[in-house]
């Protein structure tokens, strides 16, 4: 998918899914503002990889849970690029900052999730939409199962924050449609080199075996490249008629019926 000559901002692009998205957009020719919070070295590595794809960009630091940082990031991107064609809202806090069960979670942890997701998306779109023209693309990275279900108890804050993001995507899609700007969300399944890798190793092993065993019809976990490919499709000129949608980039995992044992579903 060609994005030659376009300008993109990818938040949380120093690693994992964000890096996969940044590199895929760069491969298509987009210049990329590589956002990071703390790990500047990892962000520089992403930027070097962007350049190896024949594109270019720059680093921008911000704590997306802070409104003033998001506004400063938007102002810096506007100053450097002048216009913006693609905004990908992907950044998230570390697990320890929000990972707690609903009867135990602190308000600080709850706010960290909400501020870094829904509020950050609200503020960044309000700040950057004015410099986006027709053909602009906004993509939010969410996690639909956590937004729709309640069994992953320590995910309550992030699940609720992602649900708010998905709702906000639909409202922004309607608001920006007259200007030819699309707004969509992508929900990855369990993905290597992501928040999943912050869980204890034994839990990671269970997750990998679960998906390889058939709970993901494609027979494996996702990769950052898989998610980057999905985002690139939504950012292409050919996706101009797709807006306000939630796209599952999960190898078919969202199609599996969790109420029946897998052996029964396979017949």
Q: What is the mean pLDDT of residues 125-130?
A: 98
Residues making up the chain, counted from first to last: 267
The answer to whether residue 100 scores a pLDDT higher than 90 is: yes
Fill in the DSSP letter of residue 114.
H
The string of pLDDT tens digits covering residues 154-213 is: 999 999 999 999 999 999 999 999 999 999 999 998 887 777 777 788 877 887 887 778
Rounded distance between C-alpha atoms, residue 146 and residue 148, angstroms: 6
pLDDT of residue 214: 82
Between 36-50, 112-126, 167-181, 248-262, the lowest mean confidence (pLDDT) is in 248-262
Q: Which domains are present in the chain?
A: 7-198+221-259 (3.40.50.720)
Under the banding of pLDDT at 50, 70 and 90, the label for residue 267 is confident
* CA gap 34, 47 in Å, rounded: 7
Mean pLDDT value across residues 54-60: 97
CA distance 81 to 239: 23
Q: In the 3-class helix/strand/coil scheme, how is 60-93 assigned residue by residue?
A: EECCCCCHHHHHHHHHHHHHHHCCCCEEEECCCC
221: left (phi over 0), alpha (psi -120 to 50) or beta: beta
pLDDT in tens, 247-262: 999 999 999 888 888 8
What pTM was computed for the model? 0.94
Q: Is 223 left (phi over 0), alpha (psi -120 to 50) or beta?
A: beta
pLDDT in tens, 141-158: 999 988 899 999 999 999
Within 149-254, where are the H helices? 156-176, 201-210, 224-235
Distance CA 112, CA 215 (A): 31
Tell me what pLDDT residue 212 has: 79
With cut-offs at 50, 70 and 90, classify the pLDDT of residue 134: very high
Q: What is the mean pLDDT of residues 126-147?
A: 96
Site of tokens 């308000």: 107
The mean of the pLDDT values for the chain is: 94
Q: Any residues with CB less than 8 A from the CB of 158 and at least 6 apart, and which?
A: 92, 98, 99, 113, 117, 143, 146
Which pLDDT belongs to residue 135?
97
**Locus of tokens 């506007």:** 78
Quickly tell me which residue has 């190896």 as its tokens.
Answer: 52
| pLDDT beyond 80 at 4 | no
Task: Judge contact between 60 and 16, C-beta under 8 A.
Answer: no
């Amino acid at each position: 998918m060609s994005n030659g000559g376009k300008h993109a901002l990818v938040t949380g692009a120093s690693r994992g899914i964000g890096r996969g998205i940044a590199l895929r957009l760069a491969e298509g020719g987009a210049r990329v503002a590589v956002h990071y919070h703390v790990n500047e070295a990892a962000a520089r590595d992403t930027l070097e990889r962007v350049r190896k794809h024949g594109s270019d960009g720059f680093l921008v630091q911000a704590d997306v849970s802070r409104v003033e940082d998001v506004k400063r990031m938007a102002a810096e991107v506007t100053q450097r690029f002048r216009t913006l064609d693609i905004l990908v809202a992907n950044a998230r806090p570390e697990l320890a900052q929000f990972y707690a069960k609903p009867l135990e979670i602190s308000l600080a942890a709850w706010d960290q999730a909400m501020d870094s997701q829904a509020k950050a998306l609200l503020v960044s779109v309000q700040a950057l939409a004015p410099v986006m023209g027709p053909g602009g693309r906004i993509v939010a990275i969410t996690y639909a199962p956590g937004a729709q279900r309640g069994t992953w108890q320590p995910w309550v804050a992030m699940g609720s924050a992602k649900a708010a993001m998905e709702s906000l995507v639909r409202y922004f899609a309607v608001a920006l449609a007259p200007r030819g700007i699309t707004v969509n969300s992508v929900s990855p399944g369990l993905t290597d080199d992501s928040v999943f890798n912050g869980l204890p190793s034994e839990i990671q092993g269970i997750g990998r075996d679960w998906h390889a065993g058939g709970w993901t019809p494609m027979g494996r976990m996702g990769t950052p490249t898989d998610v980057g490919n999905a985002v690139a499709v939504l950012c292409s000129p050919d996706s101009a008629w797709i807006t306000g949608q939630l796209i599952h980039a999960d190898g078919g995992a969202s199609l599996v019926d969790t109420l029946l044992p897998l052996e029964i579903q396979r017949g």
